[in-house]
Amino acid sequence: VPMGVLSCMKYLMFIFNVLVFAGGTCLVGVGVWVVVDPAGFQDIVAARAVLNAGAWLLLAVGIALSLLGFLGCCGALRRSRPLLLL
């Protein structure tokens, strides 16, 4: 495989993982917003019973995505197969 293709793949994996990390960080931000100020978010979403469980779910999924995105970025830059497989 030519070296240029591997370099391009490395940067594409890095960009993809940065997007996953950014999405996870946004989910964490929304989750924290809902946990800290549920009244402000309740104007947008009418379902009150689901709001608390949804906030913690957003936090959990956001943290998981942020962690996976960060490890993926490290794996792409270092060409570490275990980090990319994680």
26 or 7, higher pLDDT: 26
pLDDT band at residue 37 using 50, 70 and 90 as cut-offs: confident
Q: What tens digit of pLDDT does each residue of 11-32 get?
A: 888 899 899 999 999 999 988 8
Both tokens of 2, joined, read 């030519």
Q: Which of 10, 18, 17 is nearest to 79 (CA)?
A: 10
Q: pTM for this one?
A: 0.76
User: Quick one: angle between helices 3-36 and 49-78, nearest 10?
Assistant: 160
pLDDT band at residue 64 using 50, 70 and 90 as cut-offs: very high
Mean pLDDT value across residues 76-85: 80
